Amino acid sequence: MSDYAVINPATGETVREYPTISDEDLRAAIGRADTAHRDWTGTTTVQDRAALLRRLGEIHAERRQELGEIIGREMGKPIEQAVGEVDFCTAIYEFYADNAARLMADEPIDLLAGDGSAFIRRSSYGVLLGIMPWNYPYYQVARFAGPNLAVGNAILLKHAPQCPESAEAIEQMYHAAGFPEGAYTNIYATNEQIEWVIADPRVRGVSLTGSERAGAAVAEIAGRNLKKVVLELGGSDPFVLLGTDDLDAAVQAAVGARLENTGQACNAAKRFIVVDELYEPFLAKFTAALTAVKPTDPSSPDAAIGPLSSSTATERLADQVKRAVDQGATLVAGGEHDGNFFESTVLTGITPANDGYREEFFGPVAAVYRADDEDDAVRLANDTPFGLGSYVMTNDRDQALRVADRIDAGMVFVNAVGLEGAELPFGGVKRSGFGRELGRFGMDEFVNKKMIRVGG
């Protein structure tokens, strides 16, 4: 079997296989990207590139249903969520089309002494390699490639092996929008090939979204070759419930935060930390609401969760749940699967001695913890190797901001879920990686911030 193949996780059917790129073709692709960066950047303005991004967003909107169906076949995303992902991509491309010129503008520096002036001028970095995951096949590419193409960088994009059809569609849309040859290139490369792509002197930086293991491997190769890296890795985001005037609303928010993308989101809420006085009623209502959501055919417009993305993902999650229970956790509900359709599952009693205390459950599995008070809740929230996102729910505004300050994570959402936006920076700390994507900060990662000092 080819490294790249569409295997429908709902049925197990191998839909289509794609050949990996040869070494010769891959070196030629790097050369075209290098040429495109030098020639394209030198002959276009940020306004020119922004216009191409706007057209790219329009093409996504025009093909939204078709694109959604593709990733349903590839990784089992429910169709309404799939077309919603495409819509988010349109918003990202529109954001950079509208704001790229402003974000690239010269930035004056106030001089402490001497006559004349000084300023920062932002310019392109060069050829960038993107290594993208399967869970958001379009969105992950948009948030990396969109701002960097606006800057004038050229993109080599290695997608996940189970997402070759969407990878092909993305490249076609870039070409249809008017980007020149080499500005954006899809590469069906192996991990071994990626090692020497990173080392190639024409490649100036790498952005990876994926596992800790993949991030560590890429960062190590990039470090040896003095290449800049942005890493967005795993997360075990806390949902901290400290107070509420509407427990049912808090429960619905918790269910939504856990089950987005069938629970396969890095920044999904995975650990539900509830103060003592709310713990028992929350656990009862949350368990009922979560397990009422059943996995079903992702092509159905009513599907809230579908299958896990692959048999490997299912086997891994089943093993995690079993080990957690064997090590003392209580299986409150769920835990079974039929093929890749995994039941919504609730665990309690996970202690620091349990493997599950440190692991990320990538699927519809929720771990619920009881906290004595605010301080104990913060301690539990921060007692994890991860630090991507977090959620703080309370009816006390002062408490909300106080706890948000104390959470050791890259993002905090207060009293709401699902509020990500094209203008909001995305990224984490600790073993969740470093660097930011989206918004102003995402556009500033792979940019030469050149200081120019002019004498009086």
- The structural domains of the chain, with segments of one domain joined by +, span 4-109+118-232+431-450, 237-419
Q: What totals of helices (H) and strands (E) does the chain contain, helices first?
A: 14, 20
State residue 41's pLDDT score: 86
Q: Tokens for 362?
A: 């990538």
The active-site residue, picked from 85, 89, 171, 266, is 266
Q: State which H helix or E strand residue 101 sits in.
A: helix 79-103
Mean pLDDT of the chain: 97
- Taking Cα atoms as reference points, which of 90, 82, 93 lies closest to residue 53? 93
- Taking Cα atoms as reference points, which of 195, 176, 147 lies closest to residue 444? 147
- Taking Cα atoms as reference points, which of 402, 404, 380 lies closest to residue 392? 404
DSSP state for residue 113 in the 8-state scheme? S
Q: Is the pLDDT of residue 321 over 70?
A: yes
State residue 83's pLDDT score: 98
Q: How confident is the model at residue 240 (pLDDT cuts 50, 70, 90)?
A: very high
Whether 212 and 232 have beta carbons less than 8 Å apart is answered as no
CA angle 381-305-426, nearest 5°? 45
DSSP state for residue 358 in the 8-state scheme? T
The active-site residue, picked from 74, 232, 360, 437, is 232
Q: How many CA atoms, within 13 angstroms, populate the side-chain half-sphere of residue 151?
A: 26
- Taking Cα atoms as reference points, which of 221, 179, 213, 136 lies closest to residue 437? 136
Q: Is the pLDDT of residue 364 over 80?
A: yes
Q: Between the CA atoms of 145, 146, 148 and 154, what dihedral angle is there, to the nearest 10 degrees?
A: 60
Whether 109 and 336 have beta carbons less than 8 Å apart is answered as no
Q: Tokens for 71?
A: 């990733």
Q: Which CATH class is domain 4-109+118-232+431-450?
A: alpha beta
User: Is 232 a known active-site residue?
Assistant: yes
Q: Is the pLDDT of residue 42 over 90?
A: no
Helix, coil or strand: residue 241: strand
Q: Is the pLDDT of residue 270 over 70?
A: yes
Q: How confident is the model at residue 384 (pLDDT cuts 50, 70, 90)?
A: very high
Q: How confident is the model at residue 456 (pLDDT cuts 50, 70, 90)?
A: confident
| pLDDT tens readout for residues 198-211 | 999 999 999 999 99
CA 327 to chain centre: 31
Is pTM beyond 0.85 here? yes
| pLDDT tens readout for residues 391-436 | 999 999 999 999 999 999 999 999 999 999 999 999 999 999 999 9
Which overall architecture, per CATH, does domain 237-419 show?
A: 3-Layer(aba) Sandwich (3.40)
| pLDDT tens readout for residues 139-191 | 999 999 999 999 999 999 999 999 999 999 999 999 999 999 999 999 999 99
State residue 331's pLDDT score: 98
